C-alpha cells in the first residue's frame, strides 16, 4: 500500500518530541515512526518563542522529562544556558526558547534528525478506523497509518468576540490574535497604548516584554477580575495529605480548603500545601462522573487556573514596576466586540465600558482544535466532559462511544485534561508519553 505508515504522531511540540524520545528508549524503531507537524520537533506553540522575555513559569527542577532522572533539564540548563536573569529567590526561571532548544537536543541525541521522518505539514482530516487511518495533509498529500497518536497540543488563540474592521487592509497590525511567539513586539512603538485582552500568563509575558523594552505608553488589562496569578514562591513539599475515602466534589473542595493555610497565596507556606494536594487530584478527577467534572470546573475552573498557573517572579516584578509608574491599569469586564480603524482600536465590554488603544493583544488562551472537532463531527470521537477536546480513557485511547475506545488511536497532552485532569505542564505530559511508550512497546 503506498504511503502506509506504522505509527504516525500528529504534532511537533513538546508532547510529540517526548513521545518520540520515550518510544525510542523503549526499543521502538525509528523507521516505524512518522511525525507530522509544521515546525522544529520539540518547540511547538509553547517553546517556539522569538521573545527573550518569555520565560518558563516553573523553576528549573520542575519540567521533568525522565521520571528516573528528574534533574536532567536542570543539569543541562546549568551547562548550556547563559542567562543571569533566570536566577530568582524561587529558583531559576529560564527562557522558553532555551527550553525548546533543550527538547530539540533530546531528539538529536536519540537519533540523527534525518533518521526520523518528519513531514512538515498539518493534518487536516483523520478518517478510517482501526486497521488503517487515513490522514489528509495541508500540503495536498494523503497517507495511511496503522496507529496514530494525536499530540496536537494547545490550539492557537482566536478572538473571543466579534471583530469589526473599519479599514480592512491597512489596520490589521493593530490586532495581535496570537501573541505566543512574541514576534509582534518588533513592530510596537514605545509610546503606544496597548490593550491586553485577558489577565493570565500570556498577559504577564507581554507585560514582561513591554517593560523590558522600556515601553512608555499605557497598558490596559481587560479581565473579569483585577488579579494576576500569584508569583512562584520557593515552595517545597513537606508532607502528604491523608485524603478521606469516597471523595465527592463538595468534599474535595472542603478538604482542600481545610488543608490550605490562611497564609497569602504567594507565600511558600501556601504554595507548598497546594503542591502537596496536587499529585492526588488527577486520580480523584477521573473518578467523578462527566456531570460532576463539568459542574466542578464551572464553579472552580477560574480559581484553579489562577493558582495552578503561577507566574515567574520576573513577570510579576515587571508588572510591579509598571504599576509604580502608573503605566498599567486593569479594566474589569469581558469584551463583546473589538472595533479597529486606521487610527486606533477599541474594545467594547459587555458592561458598557470602552477601552481605546493603539494595539490589542489577544491573551485569552487556547481556541478549539479543528482536527478534534472534525473527529467528533464524523463520529470517530466523542467530546470530553468539559467539551474542550475529545474524550480518552486512562490508557490515552480515544473514545468513540461511551465505554468504547479505539485500539489504534491515542491522544496525549493538554487535550486530555477534560478526561484525565491536570495535564498541561511539561512534566505531566512527559509522564503520559512515558506510560504510553510502555504500552506500545
Ligand X SMILES: Cc1cc2nc3c(=O)[nH]c(=O)nc-3n(C[C@H](O)[C@H](O)[C@H](O)COP(=O)(O)OP(=O)(O)OC[C@H]3O[C@@H](n4cnc5c(N)ncnc54)[C@H](O)[C@@H]3O)c2cc1C
Could you list the residues that contact ligand X (CB under 6 A)?
10-16, 36-39, 44-46, 56-58, 63, 96, 122-123, 151-154, 180, 371, 413-414, 424-426, 429
CA dihedral 219, 222, 225, 229 (to 10 degrees): -60
Distance from C-alpha of 20 to C-alpha of 429, rounded to nearest angstrom: 13
**Closest approach of Cβ 78 to ligand X, in Å?**
18
3-class SS at 257? helix
Which residue, 348 or 397, has its beta carbon nearer to ligand X? 397
**Closest approach of Cβ 357 to ligand X, in Å?**
22
Distance from C-alpha of 287 to C-alpha of 175, rounded to nearest angstrom: 42
Which residue, 18 or 399, has its beta carbon nearer to ligand X? 18
**Closest approach of Cβ 262 to ligand X, in Å?**
28
What is the secondary structure of 397-422 as a DSSP string? EEEEETTEEEEEEEE-SGGGHHHHS-
**Closest approach of Cβ 248 to ligand X, in Å?**
29
Cell numbers at 295, concatenated: 459542574
CB 313 within 8 Å of CB 85: no
Largest CA distance in the chain: 66
Which residue, 56 or 197, has its beta carbon nearer to ligand X? 56
**Closest approach of Cβ 146 to ligand X, in Å?**
18
3-class SS at 252? helix
In Å, what is the CA distance from 246 to each residue of 41, 243, 276, 291?
42, 9, 19, 17
**Closest approach of Cβ 339 to ligand X, in Å?**
27
Which residue, 136 or 358, has its beta carbon nearer to ligand X? 136
Which residue, 59 or 359, has its beta carbon nearer to ligand X? 59
Angle at alpha carbon of residue 215, lines to 214 and 220, rounded to 5°: 145
Q: Which residues pair with 356 in a beta bridge?
A: 346
Which residue, 48 or 272, has its beta carbon nearer to ligand X? 48
CB 317 within 8 Å of CB 151: no
Which residue, 69 or 189, has its beta carbon nearer to ligand X? 69
| Burial tier of 368 (Cβ tally within 10 Å: 0-12, 13-18, 19+) | exposed
Which residue, 184 or 355, has its beta carbon nearer to ligand X? 184
Which residue, 203 or 331, has its beta carbon nearer to ligand X? 203
**Closest approach of Cβ 418 to ligand X, in Å?**
14
CA dihedral 107, 113, 117, 119 (to 10 degrees): 90
Q: End-to-end CA distance of the chain: give it in Å, rounded.
A: 24
Report which of 43, 7, 23 is spatially closest to residue 117, judged by C-alpha positions: 7
**Closest approach of Cβ 16 to ligand X, in Å?**
6
**Closest approach of Cβ 197 to ligand X, in Å?**
15
Amino acid at each position: 500500500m503506498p504511503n502506509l505508515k506504522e505509527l504516525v504522531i500528529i504534532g511537533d511540540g513538546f508532547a510529540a518530541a517526548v513521545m518520540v524520545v520515550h518510544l525510542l528508549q523503549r526499543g521502538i524503531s525509528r523507521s516505524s515512526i512518522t511525525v507530522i507537524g509544521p515546525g522544529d520537533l520539540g518547540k511547538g506553540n509553547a517553546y517556539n518563542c522569538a521573545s527573550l522575555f518569555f520565560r518558563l513559569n516553573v523553576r528549573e527542577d520542575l519540567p521533568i522529562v525522565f521520571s528516573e532522572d528528574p534533574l536532567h533539564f536542570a543539569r543541562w540548563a546549568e551547562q548550556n544556558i547563559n542567562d543571569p536573569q533566570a536566577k530568582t529567590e524561587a529558583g531559576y526561571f529560564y527562557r522558553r526558547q532555551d527550553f525548546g532548544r533543550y527538547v530539540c537536543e533530546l531528539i538529536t541525541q536519540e537519533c540523527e534528525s534525518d533518521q526520523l521522518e518528519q513531514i512538515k505539514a498539518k493534518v487536516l482530516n483523520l478518517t478510517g478506523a482501526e486497521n488503517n487511518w487515513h490522514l489528509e495533509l495541508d500540503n495536498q498529500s494523503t497517507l495511511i497509518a496503522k496507529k496514530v497518536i494525536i499530540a496536537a497540543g494547545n490550539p492557537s488563540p482566536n478572538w473571543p468576540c466579534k471583530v469589526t474592521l473599519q479599514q480592512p487592509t491597512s489596520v490589521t497590525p493593530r490586532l495581535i490574535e496570537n501573541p505566543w511567539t512574541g514576534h509582534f513586539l518588533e513592530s510596537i512603538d514605545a509610546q503606544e497604548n496597548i490593550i491586553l485582552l485577558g489577565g493570565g500568563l500570556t498577559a504577564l509575558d507581554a507585560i514582561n516584554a513591554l517593560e523590558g523594552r522600556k515601553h512608555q505608553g499605557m497598558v490596559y488589562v481587560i479581565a473579569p477580575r483585577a488579579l494576576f496569578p500569584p508569583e512562584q514562591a520557593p515552595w517545597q513539599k513537606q508532607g502528604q495529605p491523608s485524603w478521606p475515602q469516597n471523595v465527592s466534589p463538595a468534599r474535595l473542595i472542603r478538604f482542600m480548603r481545610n488543608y490550605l493555610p490562611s497564609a497569602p497565596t504567594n507565600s511558600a507556606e501556601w504554595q507548598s500545601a497546594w503542591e502537596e494536594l496536587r499529585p492526588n487530584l488527577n486520580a480523584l478527577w477521573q473518578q467523578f462522573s462527566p456531570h460532576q467534572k463539568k459542574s466542578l470546573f464551572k464553579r472552580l475552573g477560574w480559581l484553579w487556573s489562577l493558582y495552578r498557573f503561577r507566574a515567574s517572579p520576573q513577570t510579576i516584578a515587571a508588572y510591579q514596576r509598571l504599576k509604580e509608574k502608573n503605566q498599567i491599569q486593569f479594566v474589569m469586564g469581558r469584551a463583546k466586540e473589538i472595533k479597529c480603524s486606521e487610527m486606533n482600536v477599541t474594545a467594547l465590554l459587555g458592561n458598557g465600558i470602552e477601552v481605546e488603544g493603539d494595539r490589542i493583544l489577544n491573551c485569552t488562551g487556547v481556541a478549539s482544535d479543528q482536527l478534534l472537532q472534525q473527529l467528533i463531527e464524523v463520529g470517530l470521537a466523542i467530546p470530553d466532559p468539559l467539551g474542550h477536546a475529545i474524550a480518552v480513557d486512562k490508557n490515552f485511547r480515544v473514545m468513540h462511544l461511551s465505554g468504547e475506545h479505539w485500539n489504534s488511536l491515542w491522544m496525549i497532552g493538554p487535550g486530555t485534561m477534560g478526561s484525565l485532569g491536570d495535564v498541561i505542564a511539561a512534566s505531566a505530559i512527559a509522564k503520559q508519553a512515558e506510560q504510553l511508550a510502555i504500552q506500545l512497546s
